[in-house]
Amino acid sequence: MNAPSRVWNTLQANRAQRLQRARAALGCALDGKVLPAAHIGDLLHGVLECGDRVCLEGNNQKQADFLGQALARLDPARINGLHMLLSVLALPEHLDVFERGVAARLDFSFSGPQAARVAKLVAAGKLNIGAIHTYLELFARYFVDLAPRVCLVAAEAADRHGNLYTGPNTEDTPAIVEATAFKNGIVIVQANRIMETLPRVDIPGDWVDFVVQSPRPYYIEPLFTRDPAQISEIQVLMAMTAIKGIYAEYQVERLNHGIGFDTAAIELLLPTYATDLGLKGKIARHWALNPHPALIPAIESGFVESVYSFGSELGMEDYVRARPDVFSVGPDGSMRSNRALCQAAGHYACDMFIGSTLQIDLQGNSSTATLGRISGFGGAPNMGADARGRRHASPAWLKAGRQAREGRNAIPRGQKLVVQIVETFREHMQPAFVERLDAWELAEQAGMAIPPVMIYGDDVTHILTEEGIANLLLCRDDDEREQAIRGVAGYTAVGMARDKRMVENLRDRGAIVRPEDIGVDKRLATRDLLAAKSMKDLVRASGGLYQPPKRFRNW
């Protein structure tokens, strides 16, 4: 007896059913692909099914907030058990869906503003975490085993055919939409404007099913803006040490900076201190980076040659438009960003990542997940990892590789520089250096298979504090790595437990470098070295093109 033939188009058939339900619920309210905002609940109840994988666009900056609020208001008796996919948990409604029982499972990358609430919901059994991903890892799974059945995204503008203009804040939208549309999912978009003719088409209309004009522009956070007035003299000293002890030492030309005042200080010392050292044209020329306002003086001085961005930054639109040689600018004059491609660039095309963390242990493992806060990591594990598949050479990559393999009978290969820059004590005098990461206890509490480590110690090449640099590439065994870390951990309990003789031996070999060892004059480490000392200075440096958000204006 012949077995029944297999049906090969179940996803297509299911999509057709969802569209049919939606059109029946919307009736004549639907104009092409555009529906009024008042009918968003009807649409979501029509297209969603219990247990669906739903990708809600929650980026580092741009948020599909109107759609997120509508999702959180759904009737949990009709729609429940959703499996949410989000890059970033930034808004209350991202977790309201779990509080109300609309959603049950979560795969995500970062939850900074909502980290404490995530921990509470996990403890209460209202939220089950599938995994904490890097951005690239999560995007990749959209195309493999986490294809969304429905995605909810945000655009700057749309036309009635569903064509989208995402503008400078494209971010995650292309990856989300493509993964959904080509697996027969449903794509729903909130747009700030409905236009007859778009400035440019970033996503074609035949990938999009429904568009709603949001009652207000989507929420966007100026995440990468740092006021130079808040940079301390300790951070200036650390920036000087970084420039002379790492950037110049390895001839780092292509790099990514994490978010923070530590790296903002470095950016603001490039046109002054680094230029005085004769490093212009030799270091920090090409960047995978959002358009940080702190980078304006370095761009204006000719230090920075190119920047490819994950997303945009509020207030930088006119400046970026006026500098198309530096940024990726379309024929419409606005920047094109793409988080997935920029993550790939940061992983493979950059020689160095430098960023901060909350805790570092004695092996150099670091994490931003601490007790009571399940924050995730965003893109740091992609940026801060040696790209084992890389094959093209550069001076920085080759030198780091030689140091890592010195004295070993190993085939020559390079290594990415991964730098953790931290002050030994964080806010509220919390030590940055610990014997054991909180991540171990978090893993036990949340039932995770592995502790949520952000950057593994075997990828970290340097740790930089106000005490100096620990060059882990030059450490010959685990004991030396531990003492090198203790040697720059200051007056923390970890630092006070150092073996003083071993630390001095490591210093003699260059595995620990104090600022004075490389000619960094601590007396010069003042705010006078900064190329801009206030937000107003950044505006002046931009020739008036930079327009800071209101909360950064104090004049």
Do 212 and 351 fall within a single domain?
no
- Are both 145 and 240 inside the same structural domain? no
Q: What token pair was written down for 303?
A: 């230090």
pTM across the whole model: 0.94
Whole-angstrom distance, CA of residue 247 vs CA of residue 267: 12
Helix (H, G, I), strand (E, B) or coil at 471: strand
Nearest 5°: the CA angle 384, 389, 390 is 75
- Residue 11 in any domain: the answer is no
Mean pLDDT of 216-243: 96
Neighbouring CB atoms inside 10 A of 36's CB total 12
Tokens, residue 160: 């009635």
pLDDT over 70 (residue 368): yes
> In this structure, what DSSP letter does residue 127 have?
-
- Pair of tokens at residue 127: 């939220």
Could you identify the residue written with the tokens 């003086």? 297
What distance in Å separates the CA atoms of residue 309 and residue 223, rounded to the nearest whole number?
13
**How high is the pLDDT of residue 166?**
97
Do 381 and 248 share a structural domain?
yes
Residue 7 domain flag: no
Are 449 and 470 found together in one domain?
yes
Residues in contact with 324: Cβ distance below 8 Å, sequence separation at least 6, in sequence order: none
The pLDDT confidence band at residue 140, using thresholds 50, 70 and 90, is very high
CA 322 to the chain's CA centroid:
25
Q: For residue 19, tell me if it sits in a domain.
A: no
Residue count of the chain, please give it. Answer: 555
* 186 & 67 share domain: yes
Residue 167 pLDDT level (bands cut at 50, 70, 90) = very high
**Residue 546 falls within a domain, yes or no?**
no
Report the domain count for the chain. 2
Beta bridge partners of 462: 419, 471
Can you tell me the distance from the alpha carbon of 338 to that of 311, in angstroms, rounded to the nearest whole number?
6
- 372 torsion bin: left (phi>0), alpha (psi -120 to 50), beta (else): left
Mean pLDDT of the 160-188 span: 97
Last residue of a domain, one of 179, 195, 220: 220
Q: Do 385 and 423 belong together in one domain? A: yes
Paired residues of 211 in beta bridges: 34, 189
Residues 212 and 289 placed together within one structural domain of the fold: no
Residue predicted with more confidence, 50 or 223: 50
Q: State the alpha helices, DSSP H only, in 326-466.
A: 339-348, 380-383, 395-404, 439-446
Q: Tell me the per-residue pLDDT of 308-354, one tens digit each, with 9 for 90 and over.
A: 999 999 999 999 999 999 999 999 999 999 999 999 999 999 999 99
Q: At a CB cut-off of 8 Å and minimum separation 6, what does 30 contact?
A: 23, 210
Q: 457 with 478: CB under 8 angstroms? A: no
Percent of the chain topping pLDDT 90: 90
Spatial separation of the C-alpha atoms in residues 205 and 74, rounded to whole Å: 27
Task: Give backbone dihedrals phi and psi of 18, rounded to 5 degrees, phi first.
Answer: -65, -45
* Position 373 pLDDT exceeds 90: no
Q: Which amino acid, residue 264?
A: A
What pLDDT does residue 448 have?
Answer: 84
Identify the band that residue 1 occupies on the pLDDT scale cut at 50, 70 and 90.
low
Is 426 contained in some domain? yes
Residues facing residue 220 across a β-bridge: 62
What residue type is assigned to position 61 of the chain? Q
Residue 4 counted as domain residue = no
For residue 293, give both structure tokens: 């306002």
Kindly state the average pLDDT of the residues 112-133: 91
Same-domain pairing of 201 and 246: no
The 10 Å Cβ neighbour count of residue 332 is: 14
Q: Is residue 342 classed as helix, strand or coil in its secondary structure?
A: helix
Q: What is the pLDDT at residue 353? A: 98
Same structural domain, 337 and 275: yes
- The tens digit of pLDDT for each residue in 433-461 reads 999 999 999 888 878 888 989 999 999 99
Final residue belonging to a domain, choices 178, 193, 220:
220
Same domain? 210 vs 288: no
User: Range of 209's domain?
Assistant: 30-220
pLDDT in tens, 480-528: 999 999 999 999 999 999 999 999 999 999 999 999 999 999 999 999 9
- Cβ distance 427 to 261 under 8 Å? no
Judge contact between 275 and 247, C-beta under 8 A.
no
Task: Please check whether residue 529 is in contact with residue 236, taking contact to mean a CB–CB distance below 8 angstroms.
Answer: yes
- The domain that holds 480 is classified in CATH as 3.40.1080.10
pLDDT value at 387 more than 90: yes
211: helix, strand or coil: strand
What does the block give as tokens for 175? 């990856």
Residues 353 and 446 in one domain: yes
Residue 46: what pLDDT?
96
In a domain, 146, yes or no: yes
Q: Which residues pair with 471 in a beta bridge?
A: 462
Angle, to 10 degrees, between the axis of helix 439-446 and the axis of helix 115-123? 40
Domain's final residue, options 200, 220, 240? 220
Q: Pairing relation of β-strands 34-35 and 210-213?
A: parallel
Helix axes 65-72, 40-47, angle to 10 degrees: 70
Residue 16 lies in a domain: no
Tokens for 361, please give them. Answer: 């242990």
pLDDT at 2 over 80: no
Looking at the structure, tell me whether residues 120 and 191 fall in a common domain: yes
Give the separation between CA 286 and CA 408, rounded to whole angstroms.
32
